[in-house]
């Protein structure tokens, strides 16, 4: 699916204050099981740092009450970005109106990047005019990630997660939230404990996050919401290790702000099976790329057109979802997306549906029902809205509600959305059939082909330096 829905990118794309570069898995962190049983470990710094890295590491060990095998610290030049980071025009996020991370949201306050590797390496990327306390703060964040790897925190979270949820966008965001949230929590405690002359990461996030663009919130969400979750669950950096043993496994659980042991420990995820079929050879469902986006992504999509409070309320009833891309044989990119979402009850589903229709009305240029503009219906009803095809300059959308708790959203090219869709639910399953005559391959274009000239297509998504800390788990890139 051209990497358009589930993109786990190098965390450098986040432009926060430290993070972790992605790895294939967490089964091998480069350490054996005898961490702590070593002789005369030394911290090596490749480059110049205006702080005492050994003292910083010792302080982090004191806060966490664990021994940390010293990593090698590399001081590197920061990545440069100018303007928003590019993203594929056929990506799910672009189609739904969620732009890429925008460096302008940083507002000049974040001048140091950082990445921690599970293979015993920390990279510090000081920008121009970065102060020693700012550099030390990012170094602390990365040392926390180093400790997380050595204490097998990623593995502990993944072992608690249902196998089918591991690797989904929602599952990865939940994992990232615990790792990044833990690092923000500890680094903020460090800033307070050692009276550092710099705003804590929590304080900076609290200032910048609420006013950030949806694309930036998608990247910063694990840091912001993860820190709030950890802060509610534990009372000190030394006891924060417990969040990896009873972790939230969905973003809905992270967003609840309640510790797993108090709210959802052991609760199963209410999954459902999605069967998407097509009746011709033109349209092909890419079931191999099926993803679960989760409540946080749902909220972020709505927030592109609605207030943060309205979006959060509308997404709060999320129970589970599945997103399936649909492609055409000769198209070079995804043609459309079928997104089925279930809610806790009919009331929360109705709240979401109303918000979604308002989102589409705000975003679209026109809505068509049976070839006529929705405005032609003097007394249009909710039924008219549900039967409408909503059109922007580039994309088309349609909404269906096969039962009281299920909403299905179709998004993509107009030729895809115009297909006759039959939706049904039965005993925890959702069945969707897309019907329409075979279309000549020359007239069925992918989203990318139908919306922008080839000469303007970005060659590659650009990566920027990371701040707020990170680790090798990676961050979901818009």
pLDDT digits over 14-45, tens only? 334 566 554 334 444 444 444 445 456 789 99
pLDDT at 106: 85
Among the listed residues 329, 336, 330, the one whose alpha carbon sits nearest the alpha carbon of residue 96 = 336
Dmax over CA atoms of the chain, in Å, equals: 81
- Residue written as token pair 């680790």: 471
Strand 273-278 relative to strand 396-403, pairing:
unpaired
pLDDT at 267: 60
114 confidence band (pLDDT: 50, 70, 90): very high
pLDDT at 333: 64
Contacts of 312-316 with CB under 8 Å at 24 or more apart are 313/351, 313/355, 314/351, 314/352, 314/354, 314/355, 314/356, 315/352, 316/348
Two tokens at 319? 């129970």
Q: Is residue 420 a contact partner of residue 387, using CB atoms and an 8 Å limit?
A: no
Give the residue with greater pLDDT, 87 vs 151: 151
The burial of 160, by beta-carbon neighbours within 10 Å (0-12 exposed, 13-18 middle, 19 or more buried), is given as: middle
| Across 201-214, average pLDDT | 96
> Count of CB atoms within 10 A of residue 369's CB?
17
pLDDT at 288: 86
pLDDT, tens digit (0-9, with 9 covering 90-100), for 357-384:
999 999 998 888 877 777 655 555 556 5
Q: What is the pTM of this model?
A: 0.84
Two tokens at 50? 């205006």
pLDDT at 284: 85
Whole-angstrom Cα Rg for the chain = 23
| Across 183-206, average pLDDT | 97
Taking the CA atoms of 426, 317, 205 and 137 in sequence, report the sign of the dihedral they define. Answer: negative
401 confidence band (pLDDT: 50, 70, 90): very high
């Amino acid at each position: 699916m051209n990497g358009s829905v589930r993109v786990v990118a190098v965390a450098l794309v986040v432009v926060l204050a430290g993070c972790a570069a992605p790895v294939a898995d967490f089964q091998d962190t480069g350490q054996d099981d005898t961490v702590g049983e070593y002789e005369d470990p030394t911290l090596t710094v490749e480059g110049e740092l205006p702080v005492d890295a050994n003292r910083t590491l010792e302080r982090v060990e004191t806060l966490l009450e664990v021994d940390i095998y010293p990593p090698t610290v590399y001081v590197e030049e920061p990545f440069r970005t100018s303007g928003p980071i590019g993203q594929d025009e056929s990506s799910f996020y672009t189609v739904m109106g969620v732009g890429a991370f925008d460096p302008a949201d940083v507002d000049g306050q974040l001048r140091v990047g950082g990445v921690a590797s599970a293979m015993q390496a920390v990279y510090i990327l000081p920008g121009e005019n970065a102060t020693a306390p700012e550099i030390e703060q990012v170094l602390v964040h990365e040392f926390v990630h180093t400790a997380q790897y050595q204490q097998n925190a990623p593995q502990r979270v993944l072992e608690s997660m249902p196998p089918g949820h591991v690797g989904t966008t929602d599952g990865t965001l939940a994992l990232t939230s615990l790792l990044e949230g833990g690092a923000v929590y500890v680094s903020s405690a460090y800033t307070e404990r050692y009276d550092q002359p710099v705003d804590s990461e929590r304080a900076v996030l609290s200032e910048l996050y609420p006013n950030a663009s949806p694309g930036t919130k998608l990247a910063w969400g694990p840091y912001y919401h993860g820190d709030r979750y950890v802060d509610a669950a534990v009372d000190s950096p030394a006891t924060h290790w417990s969040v990896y043993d009873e972790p939230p496994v969905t973003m809905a659980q992270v967003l609840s702000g309640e510790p797993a042991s108090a709210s959802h420990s052991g609760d199963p995820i209410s999954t459902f099976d999605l069967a998407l079929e097509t009746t011709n050879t033109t349209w092909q469902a890419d079931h191999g790329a099926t993803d679960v986006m989760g409540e946080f992504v749902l909220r972020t999509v709505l927030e592109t057109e609605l207030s943060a409070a309205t979006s959060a309320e509308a997404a709060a009833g999320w129970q589970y979802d599945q997103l399936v891309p649909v492609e055409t044989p000769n198209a070079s990119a995804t043609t459309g997306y079928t997104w089925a979402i279930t809610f806790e009850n009919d009331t929360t589903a109705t709240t979401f549906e109303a918000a979604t229709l308002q989102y589409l009305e705000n975003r679209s240029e026109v809505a068509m029902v049976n070839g006529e503009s929705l405005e032609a219906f003097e007394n249009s009803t909710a039924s008219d809205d549900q039967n409408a095809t909503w059109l922007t300059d580039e994309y088309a959308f349609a909404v269906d509600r096969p039962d009281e708790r299920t909403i299905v959203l179709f998004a993509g090219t107009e030729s895809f959305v115009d297909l006759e869709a039959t939706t049904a639910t039965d005993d925890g399953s959702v069945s969707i059939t897309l019907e329409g005559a075979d279309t000549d391959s020359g007239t069925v274009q992918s989203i990318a082909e139908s919306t922008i000239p080839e000469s303007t297509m970005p060659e590659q998504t650009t990566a920027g330096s990371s701040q707020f800390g990170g680790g090798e788990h990676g961050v979901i890139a818009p």
